Amino acid sequence: MYLHISDFGMLCVSMTYHIQPHDTTPDPLYTALEACAYLRISRMTLYRMIRDGRITPVRVYERCIRFRPEDLQALTQHDPADR
């Protein structure tokens, strides 16, 4: 997924998949930026949600976290006022 500005000045989100050399399945994990765009929240809010335990990131390596699509979808199922 990547973000770009359209010709009309709107923020657009486009999906991309990272394919491993010997793997034919797309990478199902979202980066923090992609998760923020998906949930329509700020990065600070995302980190607050991690701290509060509302979402659990997947630690890829020491300083790299990702988010499962099903965890993000579960958050969108709740009332937007709860975010």
Residue 31 has pLDDT above 60, yes or no: yes
**CATH no. of 28-83:** 1.10.1660.10
What's the mean pLDDT in 40-62? 94
Residue 16 has pLDDT above 60, yes or no: no
What's the mean pLDDT in 39-56? 95
Q: Identify which of 30, 33, 36 has the alpha carbon closest to the alpha carbon of residue 70.
A: 30
Note the pLDDT of residue 38. Answer: 93
More confident residue, 67 or 16: 67
Residue 22 has pLDDT above 60, yes or no: no
More confident residue, 55 or 20: 55
Note the pLDDT of residue 27. Answer: 63
Residue 16 near residue 4, CB atoms below 8 Å: no
